[in-house]
Each structure stands twice: as structure tokens, then as C-alpha cells.
A and B are shown apart, each in its own frame.
Chain A
Amino acid sequence: MVEVALGTALAAIGAGVAIGFAGLGSGIGQGIAAAGSVGAVAEDEDMFARGIIFTALPETQAIYGFLIAILLMVFTIMVPGKEVSAALGLVAIGAGAAIGFAGLGSGMGQGIAASSSVGSVVEDPDMFARGIIFTALPETQAIYGFLIAILLMVFGGLLGG
């Protein structure tokens, strides 16, 4: 049986939290947006392209989570022979939680906004630009989470250490 050091295990949890929760939020958000878009397309076939745009927006949270998870893994688990201390492992959990939970909330929020925007656009096509702006607003929470995750990794000694 392969012995896994505590620090490495904690870093793995951090990577899992990063993509797991961000992906959960993104998935729920995208599902809500997609369901709304399908309804809009059922009534107006011309809504297909705009529906796809709104449905694609909540994808970004999963991308942020995926990036952080990859970075965490590249600088800890995937470095041969590198010993990861328990303290570094906790930093990794912090970074993962930052983007994971921020992505969860942001993804769900963006999905709801996207679905409502699709409804508005199908009701009044002039609402497209304003719908995009409103839908983009919940992106900020994911960006905050992403930034904090990066900062934690940089100043916690995971990146460039």
C-alpha cells in the first residue's frame, strides 16, 4: 500500500474542493440556464444562439475551479519526491475552499440570472445586452474567490516556493 503524507492528502482535498464545489455551482447554474433556454427555443427557434450564450456563462466557475485544482496538484501531488507539509496542505485546502465555495454561489446565482435573462430576451429581444450585463454580475464572486485562491497559493508558499 502506498503511504501518502498528511500534507499531500490535505492538498488533494484542497484540489477536490476547488473543482468539486465550483463544478457543482457551475453545473446547477448551467442546468437552470439551459432549462430556460430550451423553453425559449421551443417558442422561438431564433433564440438558439442567444440561449447558448446565456447557458455558457456559468461555465466560467468550473474553469476557475479546474485551474486552481490543476495548480494545486502541479505544485504538490504531481511533483515527484516533494514533501508537502501539513501546513502547506492546509493552505491548499484554504485555496480550494476559496474558489470552490465562491464558484458554487456564483455559478448558481449566474444560472438564475441567465435563465431570467433568456426569458426577458425571448419576451423582448432588445433586452439581450442588458441581460448579458445582469448575468455577468454574479461572476464577480467567483473572481474574488479565484484571486484569493491564487494569493493564498503564492503567499502560502505553494507557488514559486
Chain B
Amino acid sequence: MVENISTIITGLGLPSGEAFLALVVVVLAIIGLIAVISAIRPVLSMYPYTYPLARVRARKGRLFTDKQYTELLESQTTEEVKNYLRGLPDYAKYIDEYPLEKALDTQLAETYDLIARIAPDNTKDPFTFLMKKWDIRNIKSIIIAKEVGLSEEETMNLVVPFGELSDKLNTLIDADNVDEILNNLEGTDYAPILEDSIPVYKETGILLPVEASLDKYLLENLLRTAATPEDDNTAYLHEYVGNLVDITNIKMILRAKADGLKYDDIEPYMVSDGYQIREWKLKDLMESEDVSGVVNGLEGTDYAPMLTESLTDYTETGSIQAFEKALDNHISKVAMRISQKNQFGIGPMIGYLNKKENEIKNLKIIIRGKREQDLSASVIKEMLV
């Protein structure tokens, strides 16, 4: 036996048994190293998400529960709603500083800001870009405020102190007219967009071109920032952002068709591409004769079943609200699915952002229900997302 082993070792060209042993150890070491590297790599991909996920889950634990909604719905006045929100750390800091709705929007903007700051590098860009949503909202609010002649103080109550333009808000609000706002935006991404749309607004007096051009810029570029999925996390983010863009497009087309607008009327304001609904499909949808044509045109996409179900509701009421609700539910389901499938990556961040959006929507519904329509708790509850 020993002789046989010696013959094999000599046959391999090795001078001694010790050299053979060394060779065996080296081979085992290489195999071990390959095994270790393959085991470590997937774990290391989770590493950048551990810190943000803990923060997100802490905040998720502070989201409104059904019990809290029920308690809030029992409030008789908006002052009681305010008092309730004062007891919640996330809202308390803004409630006394701003009017109620601005306080809610500021809290939501702060959430977006947090996610953009803590997101790992490979998924940071789309979240950072999403902060422009607040710039665009602020620009729209300031232009509208100028249009209707609101005072500086009233205008200040409409803007949210987040986004790239947060330092410029006072200057923008101080502007006497839209041209001055445009001058103050010089050097930002928004100046070239507004340079094209403001002349149209001045000529027609309609703000839609200004608003639509800003929305178009946001959505087109948002999709672009998430357009090159490198791994699971970026692929899921692309899916979520893509669904957001598609849903915004579908809502715009449905609204336009419900108002009887033609292709030429809406084409300049539409986002040129989408996720499931690509450029050619968007054109087809815009060319549809009516709302049911749009719904039929979506056949083969994820959006078709839910919109077909809502078609009856639309036929009965003539309101596209059922479509909008179905599409909002769809994006919530997409967020929840991503959150469950990608638990150690971007998933919970997407899930939380969506839930936070819904929470703010619900709080606004409750406030409006109490303030403007004095609706009963059960009626408002029906309206919640």
C-alpha cells in the first residue's frame, strides 16, 4: 500500500511525500477559498442595507395602526386632530410650526429626505432625484400663488421646506411675477423647462403647460435614473419607479379622454416613455377615442384586469375615480410584493415609502372630512386608502 502511494507520488513528478502533502494542503486551501468567497458574496450584498433597514423598520413601527385611525376618526374638529398628532413624535415637531396640511407634507418630505440620505450608493440616485418632487411642487405652488395674488405669508404656507431649492424659497416667494421667479431659478434644471412653458402660460393664461412640463421632466428623468438595473435591488427599484411612471401616464390619459381631449391636446404633456407601456403604446392610448378605448388598449399589461373591473363603475358614475383608486391599490401591491420578496435589500424601503404616502393621504382625507364636509367617522373610514 505504502509502496503504491510512493509510486503514485513519484509518477506525479513530486520528490517526496512531504511535497505531496503540501500540494494536497494547497489544493484544499484553494477549494476552501472558493467556497468562502461564494458564501460571503451574497452576504456582503446585504451589508449596505442593514443600517437603512433598521431605521426604516423603526419608522414603519410608528406608522398609524387601525386603532389609531379609529381614534383619530372619533375627533370632532381639526383642532382635536392636531392635538392627537401632537402626541406622535414624527408629527409633533411640525404641527405647531406649520398649518396642518403643510405639517403633513413636511413630514412626508422629511421621510423622502431620510431615505435619500441613508439609501446605499447603488440605489441612491432615484431617491435623491425624487426629492425634486418637492422642488416641483414648490415651484407650482409659488406660481399659482402669484397667479391668484396670495400674500407672501399665505404662499409660505403652501411650500414645503425640503428639496434642492429649500434655500431659495424666500427669494422665489419674494418675486413680484412669474418672470422674476424664472430669473431666480436661473442655473437650476428648472429654468430651461420653464423658459419653454411660461411663454405659453403668459399667452393663454392656462397654467397646465407649466405644471405638465415640470411633471414630465420629473417622471422622464426619474425613470432614467433607475433605468440600468445592476442587481436585484436596482431591478426592484426600476420596477417600482416604472410602475409609478406608467400609472401617472395612464391616469393622465384617462383624465384627458374623460374630458374629451384629443391626441394633439395631450401629446405635448405626456411622458415620452414608460415601463410596461412603451412609447408606441402610449401613442396608441393617446389616439384612443374614449376611456374604454384606453382600457382595451392596455390589454396584455398588468394594468388591464384592474381597469377592466373599474370600467363598469366608470360607465355608471362617469367618474374616473374608480380607475385612480384601482391604480393606487396596484402600486401599493407592487410595493408590498417587492418589500416581501426583497427583505434584506431595497424592498422594505420601497414598502415603507408607499405606506407613508398612504398614511399622509389618509390623514389629509380625515382632516378634509372633518373641516370641509363635516363627514361622519364611518363615511371618512370608507374613503381611506
Contact = CB atoms under 8 A, between A and B. Distances in A.
Interface of A: 6, 10, 13, 17, 21, 24, 28, 31-33, 35-40, 42-44, 47, 86, 90, 93, 97, 101, 104-105, 108, 111-112, 115-116, 118-120, 122-124
A120 B57 contact: yes
11 contacts: A28-B40, A32-B43, A37-B54, A38-B51, A39-B50, A43-B59, A97-B32, A108-B40, A119-B53, A122-B54, A123-B60
A43 to B, nearest CB: 3
Given A6-B18, A6-B21, A28-B44, 13 more contacts: A10-B25, A31-B47, A32-B50, A35-B50, A36-B51, A39-B53, A43-B55, A93-B25, A105-B39, A108-B40, A119-B348, A120-B57, A123-B58
A interface majority secondary structure: helix
Contact of B36 (A6, A21, A42): A21
B interface majority secondary structure: helix
B57 A119 contact: yes
A86 B54 contact: no
B150 interface: no
Contacts of A17: 32
A112 B46 CA distance: 8
Contacts of B60: 123
B93 to A, nearest CB: 14
B274 interface: no
B56 to A, nearest CB: 8
The 8 lowest CB-CB distance pairs between A and B, nearest first, are A39-B54, A123-B61, A43-B58, A119-B57, A35-B50, A122-B58, A39-B51, A39-B55
A31 to B, nearest CB: 7
Interface in B61-114: 61
A86 B21 contact: yes
Nearest to B54: A39
Contact of B54 (A6, A97, A112, A115): A115
Contacts of A6: 18, 21
Q: Which of A38, A118, A119 has the most CB atoms of chain B within a 10 A radius of its CB?
A: A119
B350 to A, nearest CB: 15
B214 to A, nearest CB: 33
Given A32-B46, A104-B36, A108-B39, A86 B18 contact: yes
Nearest to A90: B21
A44 B56 CA distance: 12
A32 B54 contact: no
Contacts of B58: 39-40, 43-44, 47, 119, 122-123
B190 interface: no
B242 interface: no
Contacts of B118: 39
Given A21-B36, A112-B46, A112-B344, A40 B61 contact: no
B59 to A, nearest CB: 7
Contact of A112 (B21, B43, B59): B43
A42 B55 contact: yes
A122 B43 CA distance: 22
Nearest to B57: A119
Interface string B27-51: 0100010011001100110110011
Interface string B345-371: 000100000000000000000000000
A115 B55 CA distance: 11
A99 B88 CA distance: 49
Nearest to B17: A86
B161 interface: no
Contact of A43 (B43, B54, B348): B54
B209 interface: no
B126 interface: no
Nearest to A28: B43
B52 interface: yes
Interface string B11-29: 0000001100100010010
B119 to A, nearest CB: 12
Given A10-B25, A43-B59, A101-B32, A38 B54 contact: yes
Nearest to A32: B50
A37 B25 CA distance: 40
B139 to A, nearest CB: 32
A108 B52 CA distance: 19
B43 A115 contact: no
B46 A119 contact: no
A35 B54 CA distance: 8
Contacts of B40: 24, 28, 108
A124 B61 contact: yes
A111 B49 CA distance: 13
A86 to B, nearest CB: 6
Nearest to A87: B21
Given A112-B46, A112-B344, A36 B54 contact: yes
Contacts of A118: 54
A5 B32 CA distance: 24
Given A10-B25, A21-B36, A122-B61, A35 B43 contact: no
